[in-house]
C-alpha cells in the first residue's frame, strides 16, 4: 500500500516550473523527480535545503550516525523540508538514535546497507515515509516485505558503498519484481538529463544523484576536493575495500566503496590481506596525512565524474537535468517510424 505525503507538507517553490510528473513527484509533493543522495558528511543541511528549494528533495547524510552533527545540519536546512539517510548496519548498533532522529521531523527516512525492516516499522509508526536502497533482487524483496514506500535501486556505477550489479538490468528487474504500483528511484551513474530520461524508461519514477551534487557549490567539502571531482573521470575510479579496512570501519564484506583511485588505493587494492595485517600502522599513516592530501585521503565519487565539468549550484543542476530529460523525452518520439 503506497502512503502518500500530503502535498502541502513540502514547501513548494512557486518559481519552479514542473516539467515531469511521476509517481515520485506525486507521492512526495515535489516538482521534480530528483532526490539528493544522503552522502555522509557531504550532504549537509545547506545542500539538502537547496535541492528541496530547487523543486527536488534533499536528504541529509546521516551516514554512520552522529546526532550532534545531524542536529546542526537540520538547523542549517532552516524551514525547507529535508529527509535523512543512514547506513543501516551502523544505525542498528546505536539504540535510540532512530527515535531521536525521528524527533527532528525528517520528511523521509532512507536506509541503506543492511536490514531496514525494524527501522521501516518505527518510521511508519511516526508517520515518516521510508526509502530503502538495494543492490540485489533479494534485498528488494526484503524491502517490499517490510512495506517500504520507495525502493532506491543502486547500480555499481555509483559513488560510495554498494555492490557489483550495473543499473541497466537491475532496475527493470526490480520493477518487474515489485509491480507497477511500487515507487522506485534509480541511483548510480546519473548526472544529467540523459540519465534521468533513461532511468524513467527503465522503470524508475525518479532518480537519486550523489556524485553530481557532491560537485556543487552547497556541498560540504574543500575547494581542493571539488576541483579534483572536476579533474578526475570515471576511469579513475575503482570499487575497493581499501579505505574501510584502513579506517577500521566494520562494513559487511559484500559491500565495496567506489572511490577515486589514488596512490594509497593503488598500493593496497590488490593486497587487502596484507593491509588487514598492517591495518594499525596504515591507519596511523592515513590519519597523520593532511585532510586535503588526496594522494592518501579517500575521495568518494562514482563513474558520473565523466559527466561533470563544473561546480554548479544545486539549483542549476536540478534545472538542467530536468530540462534536458524533458527535451529528450519529447524529441525521442521522433524516432518512431509509425
Report the interface residues with ligand FMN, using CB under 6 A: 37-40, 42, 61, 63, 85, 87, 112, 133, 154, 157-160, 187-190, 208-212, 214, 300-302, 304
Residue nearer to ligand FMN on the CB measure, 15 or 138: 138
* Contacts with 33 (C-beta within 8 Å, 6 or more apart), sequence order: 20, 22, 24, 25, 56, 185, 196, 200, 205, 206, 207
Burial class (CB in 10 A: 0-12, 13-18, 19+), 64: middle
Instruction: Classify 232 as helix, strand or coil.
Output: coil
Question: Whose grid coordinates read 513540502?
Answer: 10
Instruction: Tell me the C-alpha distance between 144 and 123, whole Å.
Output: 15
| Cell numbers for 283 | 591507519
Residue nearer to ligand FMN on the CB measure, 255 or 268: 255
Measured from the CB of residue 305, what is the shortest distance to ligand FMN in angstroms? 9
Order of strands, sheet of 237-240, starting from the edge strand that comes earlier in the sequence: 160-162, 256-260, 237-240
Residue nearer to ligand FMN on the CB measure, 55 or 189: 189
Residue nearer to ligand FMN on the CB measure, 12 or 194: 194
Measured from the CB of residue 165, what is the shortest distance to ligand FMN in angstroms? 13
* Contact criterion met (CB below 8 Å) for 239 and 219: no
Measured from the CB of residue 16, what is the shortest distance to ligand FMN in angstroms? 21
Residue nearest to ligand FMN (CB): 210
Q: Which of 18, 19, 56 is nearest to 37 (CA)?
A: 56
Residue nearer to ligand FMN on the CB measure, 55 or 65: 65
Instruction: Tell me the C-alpha distance between 197 and 173, whole Å.
Output: 18
Residue nearer to ligand FMN on the CB measure, 38 or 44: 38
Residue nearer to ligand FMN on the CB measure, 242 or 304: 304
Measured from the CB of residue 37, what is the shortest distance to ligand FMN in angstroms? 4
Measured from the CB of residue 133, what is the shortest distance to ligand FMN in angstroms? 5
Burial class (CB in 10 A: 0-12, 13-18, 19+), 247: middle
Measured from the CB of residue 114, what is the shortest distance to ligand FMN in angstroms? 10
Measured from the CB of residue 162, what is the shortest distance to ligand FMN in angstroms? 6
Amino acid at each position: 500500500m503506497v502512503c502518500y505525503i500530503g502535498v502541502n507538507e513540502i514547501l513548494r517553490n512557486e518559481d519552479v516550473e514542473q516539467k515531469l510528473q511521476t509517481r515520485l513527484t506525486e507521492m512526495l509533493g515535489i516538482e521534480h523527480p530528483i532526490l539528493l543522495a544522503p552522502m555522509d558528511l557531504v550532504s549537509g543541511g545547506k545542500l539538502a535545503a537547496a535541492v528541496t528549494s530547487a523543486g527536488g528533495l534533499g536528504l541529509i547524510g546521516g551516514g554512520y550516525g552522529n546526532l550532534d552533527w545531524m542536529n546542526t545540519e537540520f538547523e542549517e536546512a532552516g524551514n525547507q523540508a529535508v529527509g535523512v539517510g543512514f547506513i543501516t548496519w551502523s544505525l542498528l548498533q546505536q539504540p535510540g538514535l532512530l527515535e531521536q532522529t525521528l524527533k527532528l521531523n525528517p520528511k523521509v527516512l532512507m536506509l541503506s546497507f543492511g536490514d531496514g525492516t525494524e527501522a521501516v516499522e518505527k518510521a511508519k509508526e511516526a508517520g515518516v515515509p521510508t526509502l530503502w536502497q538495494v543492490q540485489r533482487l533479494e534485498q528488494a524483496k526484503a524491502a517490499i516485505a517490510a512495506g517500504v514506500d520507495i525502493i532506491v535501486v543502486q547500480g555499481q556505477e555509483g559513488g560510495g558503498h554498494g555492490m557489483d550489479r550495473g543499473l541497466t538490468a537491475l532496475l527493470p528487474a526490480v520493477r518487474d519484481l515489485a509491480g507497477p504500483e511500487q515507487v522506485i528511484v534509480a541511483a548510480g551513474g546519473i548526472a544529467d538529463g540523459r540519465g534521468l530520461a533513461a532511468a524513467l524508461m527503465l522503470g524508475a519514477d525518479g532518480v537519486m544523484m550523489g556524485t553530481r551534487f557532491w560537485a556543487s557549490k552547497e556541498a560540504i567539502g574543500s575547494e581542493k576536493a571539488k576541483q579534483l571531482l572536476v579533474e578526475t573521470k570515471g576511469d579513475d575510479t575503482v570499487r575497493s575495500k581499501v579505505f574501510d579496512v584502513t579506517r577500521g570501519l566494520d562494513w559487511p564484506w559484500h559491500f565495496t566503496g567506489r572511490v577515486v583511485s589514488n596512490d594509497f588505493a593503488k598500493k593496497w587494492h590488490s593486497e587487502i590481506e596484507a593491509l588487514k595485517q598492517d591495518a594499525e600502522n596504515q591507519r596511523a599513516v592515513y590519519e597523520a596525512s593532511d585532510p586535503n592530501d588526496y594522494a592518501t585521503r579517500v575521495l568518494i565519487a562514482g563513474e558520473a565524474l565523466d559527466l561533470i565539468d563544473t561546480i554548479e549550484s544545486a539549483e542549476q543542476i536540478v534545472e538542467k537535468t530536468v530540462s534536458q530529460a524533458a527535451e529528450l523525452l519529447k524529441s525521442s518520439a521522433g524516432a518512431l517510424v509509425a
